[in-house]
Amino acid sequence: MRHRPLLTTALTAGCALLALAGCGSSASSSAGGATSSSSASAGAPVTGGNLVFANPQDAQSLDESTVFDNNSIWIIEQITQPLFTVTSNGKGVMPWLATGYTVSKNQLAYTITLRNGVKFSNGTPMTSKDVQFTLEQTMAAAQGWGYIDSAIKSVTAPSPDTVVVNLKYKWAPILADLALFANGVVPDNYGGKTAAAFYQAPIGTGPFKFDYWHKGSGLKLIKNTNYWQSGKPYLDSVTWTDVPNDNTRQLQVTSGQAQIDQYPAWSTVSALKSTPNVALSLFPSTETTYLAFNEKVAPFQDVNVRRAISYAIDRSALVKAVLFGNGQAANSIFPPQLPYYDPNSGGLQYSVADAKAALAKSSVPKGFTTTLLLPSGNSDYATIATIVQSELKPLGINVQIQQQDPNTANENFQSGKYDMYFSLWTMDIPDPDELATFALDPTAGSKSFFTFYNNSTVVKAVHAAEVTTDTAARQADYNTAQSQAAQDAFMAFLYYSPYQYVESSNVHGFLVTPLGNYHMEDVWLSPGS
């Protein structure tokens, strides 16, 4: 099972189809029947078909106001939709259930116009009352996503197709917040049900509606015949199954029992490239893998020790051994898909000479013994661990590998009971602030990504970038933060990796955004396989 940060939004992104969505029409609507070819080359989308999506982990809940896990979120996004959504390159926001907005002079009130002709899956038309109810419910979810709407003072519905959002203070990210999946529009008053009953089978305006959920086995959504994008969705149904074993998921796709495999093991990639009937997709992502050092444990408070270790790791060897070449060495705390990424920030790269020099300057020139904590059952981490162990040995650094089950390992990491630990990050919003605060600010709840790294120059730069909207100034601040963090090697930045999916060759239109989510209304199956 993988670890992914759970600060995920449902900023659903389409591709070119977003442009079409704006026009309110899309590709051919009634094209039943066969297309000319059954191979990967496209042709017109075909309506019909049932798709099985094999996931390593089951969803947890369909309650959008409280759920945090990615799989649940990406499924909920097929059922409910927010007013705005993130663009396909993950760098901006655009209208979705809204068509436009105006801002008051004092920037405290946003008047949003709603799209016409949108219906819930039960046929009820969507109005501003539904939007008002949705936002108020999310705001009230104190244990859940309530904080995301904390800038909102009130929401009013002056007319059926207008909503006014009143803010407590000026807040530029409000549109991004409204685009969060937790603000996906649900029927007013939950259609008369209690919240708990409603979320057993939620109703929304999305392309699919809830059919059943056999926990631990499969969750099925069927086509919403009242969906507002005409001609879509193409598929009759999508079923997400829970199959933790990598090998089993792969077998399911190659034998035709499933059409999409989420996160196949990297080791199978080369075999998959030569397997008929399947295609491997590598989607650009914001995913980065790091090796974290606990600065509360000696000798990691010594910058030269951290630099030595960072220099000693051959990142291209890791990319080859773990990702089988499908990735690149990381050179900054930020990934390349993120705005304000600086390719010249100087993240340390492989150099044995520099590693030895740095260690010689440090407080433990002869080396030392330490432990590398790993979540068990993850063969990628196990591979990286053995490689790092063998690369640090010549320096006199003896690494003992300790595997714990993922839950325990994670807990120990977050409570600072570790020496070194692998961590992973994926962006949830198209703005560096989320990562910068999480990873570089020791006063935030995450204590600099649990490394206790504290550099006042970096902290100042991060705070400065939060309060200004001047892009040049922000770039300068983030450049400072990235370079300093690189020099201090508070973590070793290992590699950037894409999102890997395996699809049967008859799957078309499947796209994953850099934030990790996808649009099932764009997916269609060509007949035959």
Partner 1 sequence: MGRMSFVLRRLVLLVPTAVGVTIITFFMVHLIPGNPAVTILGQRANPSTVAALDKQLGLNQPLIEQYWLFIDRLFHGNLGQSLYYQVPVSSLITSHLPPTLWLLCYAAVLGVAISVPLATLAASRKDAVRDHVIRVVPLLGLGLPAFWFGLILQTWLGTKLRLFPVTGYGQGFTGHLHSMFLPALTVAVALCPVLIRSLRASMLGVLGAEFVTTARAKGVPAPRLLVRHVLRNAVIPAVTVLGINIGYLIGGTLIVEQVFAIPGLGSLMINAIFERDFTVIQSVALVYGVLVVLVNLLTDVAYVALDPRVRFDA
Partner 2 sequence: MSAVSADPAPAPAPVPPPAVTRVRARRARWYRQPTLMTGLVLLAVIVFMCYGASLLTSFNPDTQNLEQPLLGLGQAGHLLGTDQEGRDTWARLLYGGQVDLRVAFIAVILPFILGTILGSLAGYFGGWADTVIMRIIDIVVAFPFFVLVIALVFVLGTGEKSIYIAITAIGWVSYARITRGEITVAKRQEYVLAAQSGGLSSLRIIGRHLLPNVVTQSIVYAMSDIVQDIIAIVTLSYLGLGIQPPTPDWGTMISAGQNFLTTQWQLTTIPGIAVVITGLALSLIGDGLADLLRTGGS
Alpha-carbon distance of 97 to 181, in angstroms, equals: 12
> Which contiguous run of DSSP H or E holds residue 305?
helix 303-312
Q: Which two tokens stand for residue 318?
A: 């890791």
Q: Which two tokens stand for residue 170?
A: 């000026």
Q: Write out the binding residues for partner 1, residues 64-93 only, by CB under 8 A.
A: 68-69
* Interaction of residue 445 with partner 1, rule CB under 8 A: yes
* Interaction of residue 414 with partner 1, rule CB under 8 A: yes
State residue 306 phi and psi, 5-degree precision. -65, -40
Candidates 65, 132, 205, 241: give the one binding partner 1 (CB under 8 A).
Answer: 241
* Shortest distance (Å) from residue 62 CB to partner 2: 30
Candidates 92, 173, 396, 406: give the one binding partner 1 (CB under 8 A).
Answer: 406
8 Å CB contact between 493 and 290:
yes
* Interaction of residue 61 with partner 1, rule CB under 8 A: yes
* Interaction of residue 244 with partner 1, rule CB under 8 A: yes
484-495 CB burial, b ≥16 within 10 A, e <16: bbbebbbbbbbb
* Interaction of residue 107 with partner 1, rule CB under 8 A: no
Residues contacting partner 1: total by CB under 8 A: 37
When CB distances are held under 5 to 8 angstroms depending on the partner's kind, the choice from partner 2, partner 1, none that residue 68 binds is: partner 1
Contacting residues for 363 by C-beta, under 8 A, at least 6 apart: 299, 302, 304, 305
When CB distances are held under 5 to 8 angstroms depending on the partner's kind, the choice from partner 1, partner 2, none that residue 378 binds is: partner 2
Please give the DSSP secondary-structure letter assigned to residue 268.
G
Alpha-carbon distance of 436 to 427, in angstroms, equals: 11
When CB distances are held under 5 to 8 angstroms depending on the partner's kind, the choice from partner 1, partner 2, none that residue 321 binds is: partner 2
First CA to last CA across the chain, in angstroms? 29
When CB distances are held under 5 to 8 angstroms depending on the partner's kind, the choice from partner 1, partner 2, none that residue 282 binds is: none
* Shortest distance (Å) from residue 323 CB to partner 2: 12
- Beta strands of 104-236 (E only): which ranges? 109-114, 152-159, 162-167, 208-214, 218-223
Contacting residues for 411 by C-beta, under 8 A, at least 6 apart: none
Q: Angle formed by the axes of helices 315-322 and 379-392, to 10°? A: 150
Please give the DSSP secondary-structure letter assigned to residue 522.
G
Q: With CB under 8 A as the contact rule, which of the stretches 101-109, 240-248, 293-301, 466-474 interacts with partner 1?
A: 240-248
Q: Which two tokens stand for residue 445?
A: 């709840």
When CB distances are held under 5 to 8 angstroms depending on the partner's kind, the choice from partner 2, partner 1, none that residue 246 binds is: partner 2
Q: Write out the binding residues for partner 2, residues 283-322 only, by CB under 8 A.
A: 317, 320-321
- What does the binding site for partner 1 look like in residue numbers (CB under 8 A)? 1, 3-7, 58, 60-61, 68-69, 143, 214-217, 241-245, 247-248, 251-252, 254-255, 257, 405-408, 410-411, 414, 445-446
- What does the binding site for partner 2 look like in residue numbers (CB under 8 A)? 246-247, 250, 265, 267-268, 270-271, 317, 320-321, 376-379, 382-383, 385-387, 389-390, 401-405, 408
